[in-house]
Amino acid sequence: MSRICALVNPHSGSVPEDGAAELRNVLEGMGHTAEVIEIEIDQLVDQIKNAIADAPDILIVWSGDGTIACAFEHAGPDGPLILPLPGGTMNLFHKQIHGEACEWQDCLERALESGKEIDVPAGKAGDRTFYVAAMAGNLTDLTGPREAIRKGHLLEALETLSGSDVLDLRTNMTFDVEKSDGTSANGFATAVSVFVGTQQDEMLEFAYIDPDNPLELAAAGFGALFDDWRNASGVTSEHIRSGKLEHERGLDLRVTLDGEPVRLTSGTRFTRIAKAGRALSANL
């Protein structure tokens, strides 16, 4: 029988306070015994490292996208087989691995009973790793207002937007990419997203907007606030092998990697890794 270790993050968006006990009970009901560890925020990285060093056959991580990304980053391409259970608000990483949205218990049962091992791809932004998407430009700072709106906290969203420059959509970036057919393309962009895709994909998806008029600027801004801005007017999408982003004045790029705000040097190159980790997919 496989040796199982489980990490449970009760601080994630949808993991209950007694999540560790719930998970242990479900596993025992399936005939599995496991070491179940409740994550403490100030010890998160150490707990992940210790669980990986223990080399279990399967490492279950019940959490949101951020914690699971941290687990894959520390496990690397040859680390333990990781089974991510959806416990966040967006769970985008989990959807990539399991094929679609799923409840944590259903996902757990399907994966342990009939799941399959898959390679987990990732993107690189310089020396930083991301597993879902990198977004560059002022629109990246809409993460907070979007989450407030999703929870119904409209006043909080308005307060966050008030006085900020996130809807300042002036074009201030240039890009140079190698497309899927080997040819190159370059241009200007107000906002850029780079998506990793699933294990079936071979290229990064590169979406950008260089608005021609104020209406397209407004559409992109409100699209980012209420929906996927790629659906807004004026957005162009390409499949690329790699790409480079520069700020027109050489300033640092305002970027989020899987929702985490970072600043990257102008001229940062984005590439794709076909295998950055091993996952147990529920294959829904």
Helix ranges (H only) for 162-235 are 214-226
Confidence band for 283, pLDDT divided at 50, 70 and 90: confident
Judged by average pLDDT, the poorest of 16-25, 33-42, 132-141 is 132-141
What lies within 8 Å, CB to CB, of 270 at 6+ separation is: 123, 124, 125, 134, 194, 204, 242, 243, 244, 245
Mean pLDDT of the chain: 85
CB 9 within 8 A of CB 36: no
Burial code of 157-168, b = ≥16 C-beta within 10 A, e = fewer?
beebbeeeebbe
Smallest CA-to-CA distance from 37 within 27, 51, 17, 22 is with: 51
- Say what the pLDDT of residue 162 is: 46
The domain 128-273 is classified under which CATH number: 3.40.50.2000, 2.60.40.10, 2.60.200.40, 2.70.98.90? 2.60.200.40
Residue length of the chain: 284
- Say what the pLDDT of residue 100 is: 83
Tens digit of pLDDT for each residue in 243-258? Answer: 999 999 999 998 989 8
Note whether 4-114 and 128-273 share their fold.
Answer: no
Report domain extents, the chain. Answer: 4-114, 128-273
User: Which amino acid, one-letter code, is at 40?
Assistant: E
Indicate if the pLDDT at residue 142 is higher than 90: no
CATH 3.40.50.10330 for the 4-114 domain, yes or no:
yes
* Distance separating alpha carbons of residues 72 and 131, to the nearest angstrom: 9
* Distance separating alpha carbons of residues 270 and 127, to the nearest angstrom: 9
- Say what the pLDDT of residue 92 is: 86
- Say what the pLDDT of residue 135 is: 87
For the record, the structure tokens of 112 come out as: 């342990």
- Say what the pLDDT of residue 66 is: 87
* Distance separating alpha carbons of residues 167 and 276, to the nearest angstrom: 34
Confidence band for 149, pLDDT divided at 50, 70 and 90: very low
CB 208 within 8 A of CB 170: no
Question: Which pairs count as long-range contacts for 93-99, CB under 8 Å and 24+ apart, including other chains?
Answer: 93/65, 93/68, 93/69, 93/131, 93/132, 93/258, 94/65, 94/68, 96/131, 96/132, 96/196, 96/197, 96/198, 97/279, 97/281, 98/281, 98/282, 98/283, 98/284, 99/281, 99/282, 99/283, 99/284
Average pLDDT over residues 142-148: 49
User: Which amino acid, one-letter code, is at 71?
Assistant: A
Tens digit of pLDDT for each residue in 79-137? Answer: 999 999 999 877 889 999 998 888 999 999 999 999 999 999 999 999 999 999 998 98
- Say what the pLDDT of residue 209 is: 82
For the record, the structure tokens of 265 come out as: 């040097």
CB 233 within 8 A of CB 219: yes
CB 260 within 8 A of CB 67: no
Q: What percent of the chain has pLDDT over 70?
A: 79
Tens digit of pLDDT for each residue in 214-235? Answer: 455 545 554 544 455 556 667 7
